Structure 1
């Protein structure tokens, strides 16, 4: 306690009671207050609603609907879906079509389209109004892969007389516009007119984008003039940008500039960088040099961190308007900046020189040290003929490696072939292996096999055979050749390193073969490397052999130099989840970037399981004996913080109710540590308040 108070004093906190001005649960007198408090604390809403009912209070259905909408609008779809399911399960009211539509949308958003389709089939037919069908239609309209289902749903809505508002038409239009199907879009417009349905902003923007894409300026202008003055119709900046592109293609520069000026007024702050790139490009295509420079100055002023994209766009645009002097100035600024080298920028300027007959300037630029050090762009063979004989063998090998590392495989192969043909130096087995690899990469497997046959037998060592085996291991079609090569390497005594075994594992993906390969490695005293360990773990995970997976992990997974890739960790997490080891799965997903959704889904599953266990425990014992699941909270919060989902971690923390005689300080400690790292003193101090309050009351 003394230590905690010292920390509090250090941060200037004299009274923990004044840290939060939010309403507390203890003082809340209405359901609205309790909901507000839960939202403020990022806590779960469902327990609040259930507790309110347990106290004998009624729940207003309209309040629940507002809660669902607030959660959905704040990107808390998981919670929103839970509340929606609870409202149905607890029979809070007779559900109306809007309730089913909201839940259908949430299921598709959280669980996926397949589950949403199943839920739709469970909705009573008399509750399937236009809002429900429109929600289903929107789900289908997000991808052209579900075009047939979207069209079938739209046809059903027509049969039921549900095409009386613009929403279903907009859903189909967005799909047809993506496919550039003008006939279908215009057919929808005629049907809207026949049904006395007025287009809204979404309709107008969709149609204008379509006409812009097919470059029909006349139809575009006619449609815009018809609806532009209608109250409530608002154009999007991406729409006016597309219209400007259409004018540029139609060589109507004046109209293009007018539309680009309108785009500048419509663009929002979040889209500035993308908008500036597009504006510079189109002003350049319209021949407006001053406008290009004006937007570039805005770019430098408003975009904090500049990158290659901006410089590439402005230089290209200035070359379009024939201002090579200004392009040179900006290039020199780019060259002085510590940005990652982008070969396209000097190449672009060199092309500008050549287009203007300034060939010497182009050659000087591309042969400058700044460019030459990063990438060799001249043809390689003439250079080799000129000074290749003067190079040391080590220099030639270094050249091949540099070309290979910069993905210039064709040039690397030319150097390797030149070395062999000119016999400028003695070749070793690693030289043959390097050429074999490059031949397969550039010319294909058949040519690589021909070259392998021409390699002297005394040069076909481990490196050459491993290169050949790696080609065969790329496809199951070559399994026979791979096994023959592997057998030959066994006969020659070349199976003394992990690489050949790892390559064979790429083809044999059954655990029984894995164990056979591992036995042979053990007999040859060959320890698995990172590649081998990852492949074995993935195979065990795919077959849900958790026990074997864990045993192998204990033996080799934590060895020196062994690194697990994210795909392996994700596969293991999936295996744990399938085996019912939810906490282990959550912990492993925490080490895989981009797996927030998996962690949340597994946590929901875990909590449902614990709720069922709680119910069973309550039946056996008198009174309520809370199950202690602190370790589960600690694991999920830790995983979410690793995934930088601080908001999600705070939500889970808001659900945590400490149980037992001692507080597990590691749970708030995780968030306190994060807040301290971020410099968030308010939340840091609030976390300490939780610990102090709990400790003093115990």
Structure 2
């Protein structure tokens, strides 16, 4: 009993000695150990080298400078700086509200020439300057841009700076300039103005902005409707609130159409029409457009006849909308008749009409 326990202790000591490198490992054990190690290494994928993003994300302290880390990472022979990765890092840092570090990376990639700045890059850079150094510095950056870089995106970024700082006069003047240049064709600039009026407590002006947006042919997005609903709710304007919610049903229908859920789209459009004010020209035009996307000629013509009957005044946007749908259906003869009808309406001339028909001829 004593001898067996002594043997056990001896084996334990020998094993510990070998593990610690104090005693040699027998040849057959070394081969077995080596083969097990190799098989384990073969079964485990090699560790992936750190990316630039994974190197920078942990450095969240705003006081931490990122340029030395980028230079260090780029100095490694196996690492390659790609413009798509640098843009993604700037975008992610803006999302995480790390504006100072995002600006540092943006400045570095511009100065070093790793990324040739496009108007969208200038817009991001301008917005970051506004966050960190204020509107004055953002204006200086904008004014120093070349004419070819002063496109809709940098203009929109400067408008966002004005609205963020509640600079009403500058925002309105800049918005007007954008309209003159033809840069106000999506919901975003209008959303900026509506957010501005909301933040300064002038909720009564929000519906006027969304009405202008629709008159000018821009389609409100979900954010537009959310701002408008909040404005009506703040003022306890329940009539306006209900109308907006009803209008949003047609937005839901458009998503069904995009998802090719035709039955859902038809059902939603029927509900929207049932609640629609028959004298609302804009709502009727929107339904015509949606039925046009569904390819339903009979519904389009029925709604157009309803619009002509109930709406006292027919705007250019009503005619252009219907003309575009007829061209989409390849109903060229009917489109020509509608063009003649528009000419006799005494509405102001608009180049969109002949252009739409010209596309149909092509």
Aligned to 2:70: 49
C-alpha contact (below 8 Å) 1:180/1:213 kept by paired residues: no
Alignment of 1:631-650 (within 5 A): none
Distance 2:145 2:67 in 1: 23
Q: 1:132, CA displacement in angstroms?
A: 1.6
Distance 2:140 2:111 in 1: 17
Which structure 1 segments of 5+ residues have no match?
Answer: 1-26, 234-698
Q: 1:76, CA displacement in angstroms?
A: 1.8
Change (3 A) 1:223 1:34: closer
Change (3 A) 1:215 1:119: same
Distance 1:66 1:232 in 2: 33
Is the aligned partner of 1:166 residue 2:187?
Answer: yes
Distance 1:141 1:68 in 2: 22
Aligned to 1:584: none
C-alpha contact (below 8 Å) 2:204/2:231 kept by paired residues: no
Change (3 A) 1:200 1:232: farther
| TM-score where L is the length of structure 2 | 0.51
Q: Deviations over 1:34-76 (max 9, x none)?
A: 4313423556432233234445765211110011112222222
Query: Of 128, 138, 159, which aligns to 2:160?
Result: 138
Query: Of 33, 45, 54, which aligns to 1:36?
Result: 54
Q: 1:131, CA displacement in angstroms?
A: 2.0
Q: Deviations over 1:476-534 (max 9, x none)?
A: xxxxxxxxxxxxxxxxxxxxxxxxxxxxxxxxxxxxxxxxxxxxxxxxxxxxxxxxxxx
Which structure 2 segments of 5+ residues have no match?
Answer: 1-45, 255-362
Aligned to 2:328: none
Q: 1:210, CA displacement in angstroms?
A: 2.1
Aligned to 1:629: none
Distance 1:209 1:88 in 2: 41
Distance 1:141 1:227 in 2: 26
Is the aligned partner of 1:83 residue 2:101?
Answer: no
| TM-score where L is the length of structure 1 | 0.27
Q: Deviations over 1:271-309 (max 9, x none)?
A: xxxxxxxxxxxxxxxxxxxxxxxxxxxxxxxxxxxxxxx
Q: Deviations over 1:644-678 (max 9, x none)?
A: xxxxxxxxxxxxxxxxxxxxxxxxxxxxxxxxxxx
Query: Of 108, 116, 125, which aligns to 1:103?
Result: 125
Change (3 A) 1:180 1:128: same
Q: Deviations over 1:380-409 (max 9, x none)?
A: xxxxxxxxxxxxxxxxxxxxxxxxxxxxxx
Distance 1:83 1:232 in 2: 42
C-alpha contact (below 8 Å) 2:203/2:234 kept by paired residues: no
Give 3-state SS (helix, strand or coil) of 1:135's partner.
helix
Aligned to 1:61: 83
C-alpha contact (below 8 Å) 2:187/2:221 kept by paired residues: yes
C-alpha contact (below 8 Å) 1:180/1:210 kept by paired residues: no
Query: Of 194, 207, 219, which aligns to 1:198?
Result: 219
Q: Deviations over 1:138-194 (max 9, x none)?
A: 1211344x1110001101111111111111001111223345656743442233223
Q: 1:228, CA displacement in angstroms?
A: 4.7
Aligned to 2:116: 94
User: How many correspondences in the alignment?
Assistant: 205
Give 3-state SS (helix, strand or coil) of 2:125's partner.
helix
Distance 1:131 1:232 in 2: 30
Distance 1:185 1:53 in 2: 49
Change (3 A) 1:63 1:28: farther
Distance 1:33 1:116 in 2: 32
Q: Deviations over 1:601-652 (max 9, x none)?
A: xxxxxxxxxxxxxxxxxxxxxxxxxxxxxxxxxxxxxxxxxxxxxxxxxxxx
Q: 1:84, CA displacement in angstroms?
A: 0.4
Aligned to 1:361: none
Distance 1:121 1:155 in 2: 17
Give 3-state SS (helix, strand or coil) of 2:113's partner.
coil
Distance 1:122 1:232 in 2: 45
Distance 2:198 2:73 in 1: 49
Distance 1:48 1:140 in 2: 34
Q: Deviations over 1:103-142 (max 9, x none)?
A: 1111111122221221121222211222222221112113
Give 3-state SS (helix, strand or coil) of 1:164's partner.
coil
Change (3 A) 1:100 1:211: same
C-alpha contact (below 8 Å) 1:28/1:34 kept by paired residues: no
Query: Of 186, 189, 202, which aligns to 2:210?
Result: 189
Give 3-state SS (helix, strand or coil) of 1:40's partner.
coil
Give 3-state SS (helix, strand or coil) of 2:219's partner.
coil
Distance 1:28 1:126 in 2: 46
Distance 1:114 1:35 in 2: 31
